[in-house]
Amino acid sequence: MIIRQDLAPVLPGKNCFGRMNKKKFLVIHQTGNAARGANAQMHATYQINNTKYKDPREASWHWQVDDKEAIQSFTHDVSCYHASDGSGDGNMHSIAIEGCINADGDYKKSVENMARLAAKILKDENISIMNMKQHYDFARDKKNCPAQIRSGKDGIDWNKFVQMVQGYINEKPIVAGIKVEKPKTDKELADEVIKGIHGTGAERKAKLGSRYDAVQKLVDEMFKPKPVVKPKPVPKPVANKTVTDTYKESGTFYPNDTIIVRNAPSTSATIVARYYKGEHVKYHTVHLKNGYVWLQYTRGNGQQAHIPCRTYSNGKYGTLWGTIK
Ligand SMILES: [Zn+2]
């Protein structure tokens, strides 16, 4: 038997009470629908579609199981509408299984699968088999459910069913023969949508059920055009020379403010002169060092001097403090 999820939306007040289930009981039902095709998937799909109506039918249950698979519609924290006991323990604090009785299914296999699923849930949720109940036990209207088990169809009455569940609980490993199918991730479903597996519009919404919003968001993101990354502008070197720390270049610098001149290209070097607005200096070498562009020139006394003309760091040039010709 395969176990998988096909979750229905949780709409408190519409199709359930909300997430408040203390998981005290496991309640066994049979669907009452013997029509061909009334299998687990049909009932799971019914629970998803039920919420789309303005006035959804006030009925919901956690699991449906047929002769091939068990499908989960609600996680166990949800209090569903199934036990006909208002806000009693049946609805509020139990987990419900509907066993399928569809004419095109194998009835005995379906009941065996329900017993396997019941054993797994009792074990997983640490519920005593004494707290596995019939819908009838809770129903205020004494509804005859699970009808086929209560009437002992095919030799399986309630006592026999309880024995079967106990047998599966005793199996090592617990409940052999169950294959739990991992729920698909939103990404996997989005990939399927793009391949066209889930149709479009209303069909896609119906097929994806409670997963629709998250999956559709991913699909939209996958189709969004990627932002174009602009290349960073390459800083222009002084006088269009290749940027290296030091390079030969001749020119005349006209400062537009007072600038201190030093004997080396560093603000911690010795001050050797000052240049003022209106003066000019003929330089022969450029240094990109220590936060500035330094213009090196030869002084009248033959010594070398360095005048900063703009800031420079990490390839970024500041405004030139004057003009260069
Ligand atoms: Zn029932």
52 shares its domain with 132: yes
* Same structural domain, 6 and 120: yes
Query: Does 41 map to a domain?
Result: yes
| Residue 112: band (very low, low, confident or very high) from pLDDT cuts 50, 70, 90 | very high
Q: What CATH number is associated with residue 281?
A: 2.30.30.40
Q: Which amino acid would we find at residue 78?
A: V
Residue with tokens 């169950």: 178
Lowest mean pLDDT among 71-80, 105-114, 168-177, 254-263: 168-177
Q: Is residue 38 part of a domain?
A: yes
Q: How far is Cα of residue 108 from the mean position of the Cα atoms in its chain?
A: 40
Asked whether residue 244 carries a pLDDT value surpassing 70, the answer given is: no
Please give the distance, rounded to the nearest whole angstrom, from the Cα atom of residue 28 to the centre of ligand 1.
Answer: 7
- Does the CA dihedral 111-115-117-118 come out positive or negative? positive
Q: How many whole angstroms from 14 Cα to the centroid of ligand 1?
A: 19
Domain membership of residue 78 as a residue range? 2-180
**Of 87, 26, 36, 24, which is closest to residue 58 (Cα–Cα)?**
87
pLDDT at position 201:
84
Domain stop point among 111, 146, 180 = 180
Domain end: 132, 161, 180, which one?
A: 180
Residue 204 covered by a domain:
no
User: In the prediction, which pLDDT does 299 show?
Assistant: 93
pLDDT in tens, 172-205: 765 666 788 788 889 999 998 988 888 888 778 8
Q: Do 151 and 12 belong to one domain?
A: yes
Q: Are residues 246 and 173 in the same domain?
A: no
Task: Inform me whether the pLDDT recorded for 228 exceeds 80.
Answer: no
Residue 14 and residue 135 in one domain:
yes
CATH number at residue 74: 3.40.80.10
Ligand 1 center to 114 CA (angstroms):
14
Last residue of a domain, one of 131, 158, 180: 180
Q: Is residue 227 part of a domain?
A: no
56 or 135, which is more confident: 135
Ligand 1 centroid to Cα of residue 139, in Å, is 8
Domain count for the chain: 2
For residue 240, what pLDDT is reported?
A: 47
Separation of CA 143 and ligand 1 centre (Å): 7
Q: Report whether 305 contacts 283 (CB < 8 A).
A: no
User: Within a domain: residue 194?
Assistant: no
Least trusted range by pLDDT, from 71-75, 128-132, 231-235, 299-303: 231-235
160 in the same domain as 86: yes
Amino acid identity, position 95: I
